[in-house]
Amino acid sequence: MTGQPYAVRLSPPAAKVLTALPEHAEQMARDVLDAAVGNPRGFPQWDVGDPEGEDVRIASVGQLSVVYFANHALRHLSVLDIVWLG
């Protein structure tokens, strides 16, 4: 992918979850977001049946899922939610 990486913006609920995660899970979330910044469409669409929601993605690794919206015009990832099943 060319150009500047995307900036990450956390919603208030996502920020609250991130700060409450165990240290290893927080680092995993940051690693997942780093991967998403480099390739926002590299993770599957949240609801494949919604053609208008193609930029809402879910990045899942093990017990962690990060749901984000990729705003390509502004080059931002808006993190909507973080789920930790730990």
Q: What are the pLDDT digits (tens) for 18-74?
A: 999 999 999 999 999 999 998 999 999 999 999 888 999 999 999 999 999 999 999
CATH code, 7-84: 3.30.2310.20
Which DSSP category does 45 fall into?
B
Q: Name which of 9, 31, 35 is nearest 21 in CA terms.
A: 31
Mean pLDDT along residues 1-19: 87
User: According to the model, what pLDDT value does residue 26 have?
Assistant: 96
For residue 83, list its beta bridge partners.
65
Residue written as tokens 């240290």?
23
pLDDT-derived band of residue 86, with 50, 70 and 90 as boundaries? confident
Domain ranges of the chain: 7-84
Q: Has residue 3 got a pLDDT over 70?
A: no
User: According to the model, what pLDDT value does residue 81 have?
Assistant: 97
Instruction: Report yes or no: 11 and 67 within 8 Å, Cβ to Cβ.
Output: no
Give the Cα separation of 49 and 30 in Å (integer): 28
